[in-house]
Amino acid sequence: MPRGDLFPDTMPFSTGYLPLEDGHVMYWEQVGHPHGVPILFLHGGPGAGAGVVHRRFFDPRHWRAVIFDQRGAGRSRPQGGLRGNDTDALIRDMEALRQRLGIERWLLFGGSWGSTLALSYAQAHPERVPAMILRGIFLGRDSELDWFLHGLANVFPDAHAAFRDFLPDAERQDLLGGYLRRLLDPDPAVHLPASRAWSIYEGTCSTLLPTPAAVASFARDQAALGLARIEAHYFAHRLFLPPEGLLARMDRIAHIPGEIVQGRYDMVCPARSAFDLAARWPAARLTIVPDAGHSALEPGIRRALVAALERFRGG
């Protein structure tokens, strides 16, 4: 997939591991300009981890981009660790990282679950967030979870059938429970096939057109385990979000400028959630990309995200 509209590859100017509570150790890195405008990248999943390509969204002459792997994800340790892994803990981790790096305020840049976490953090610490750029909005509502687990069969019946049929017939009435039991099993012979089945399902549904390379990346054992195990854990606990949901707390951050980028044909996080968020966020602008699905690397999505970042130059 050509990515000429992103910035050139760049190496971090600093990296580190931050010890956290509950035995977790967080990987973090900074790329771009050491004295640039701070911006925090929040990866999806939960559990997907950040990749090298995510550095390329940020103009290295302007941004001081902070990228980290959330608990149990990517290069953080332990891989797939669930102890003390919930949304409030991730918000505390973000605050610990901000303090560790001596940053007073930072923009937030996140997609999918990264949009959920960005909204959760901003609602907890609005004084730390001057602006947000969010993509593929996920609000963690029951309807969104049901769509992922069941509703996608309306658009991707073949992918959903493979996802469903991985489980024995007797367990197919409770897909989340059946997968979670296997993903929590300590035996790799049990949890690795389940994690691959879950992750391939998500990867297959993430782009507008079939993208075998993207699906293959979702199928790699390390990436699949972190994504599937942590995602199922969060789904089983309704994303550890407040009972009233994120929209009910939008009054806390309604004044914060925002950009919402949404693929019209996003099947993982359908556009309804982006419209619902925009209706409660008067300071945000909604951009619908007419020829894109869910992935941040869809051509129209990545161009819209870079354009949104350019509109926020100057912090």
DSSP 186-236: S-HHHHHHHHHHHHHHHHHTSSSS--HHHHHHHHSHHHHHHHHHHHHHHHH
> What pLDDT is attached to residue 215?
87
Q: Kindly report the length of the chain.
A: 315
Q: Which CATH superfamily is domain 14-141+240-311 in?
A: Alpha/Beta hydrolase fold, catalytic domain (3.40.50.1820)
Distance CA 299, CA 254 (A): 29
Residue tagged active-site, from 233, 266, 273, 295: 266
- Catalytic, 88? Answer no
> What pLDDT is attached to residue 2?
44
In whole angstroms, how far apart are CA 30 and each of 11, 65, 82, 114, 156? 9, 6, 26, 18, 38
Looking up tokens 């992750």 gives 199
- Catalytic, 14? Answer no
Mean pLDDT per block of 10 residues along the chain (315 residues) reads: 76 98 97 98 97 96 98 96 98 98 98 98 98 98 98 98 98 98 97 97 95 87 92 98 97 98 98 98 98 97 97 75
> Which residues neighbour 20 within 8 Å (Cβ) at sequence distance 6 or greater?
26, 71, 89, 93, 96
Nearest one of 166, 132, 61 to 277, comparing CA atoms: 132
Nearest one of 26, 24, 31 to 100, comparing CA atoms: 26
Residue tagged active-site, from 24, 43, 160, 294: 294
Residue tagged active-site, from 43, 54, 62, 112: 112
126 in Cβ contact with 261 (< 8 Å): no
> What pLDDT is attached to residue 258?
98
- Catalytic, 266? Answer yes
DSSP letters, 60-74, are: TTTEEEEEEPPTTST
SS3 11: coil
Across-strand partners of 134?
110, 260
Residue extents of the structural domains in the chain: 14-141+240-311, 143-238
> Which residues neighbour 296 within 8 Å (Cβ) at sequence distance 6 or greater?
54, 57, 111, 135, 136, 302, 305
Element (H, E) at 89: helix 87-100
Helices 175-183 and 188-204, interaxial angle, to 10°? 130
> What pLDDT is attached to residue 15?
98
SS3 15: strand
> Which residues neighbour 274 within 8 Å (Cβ) at sequence distance 6 or greater?
136, 137, 260, 262, 286, 288
Rg from Cα positions in the chain: 18
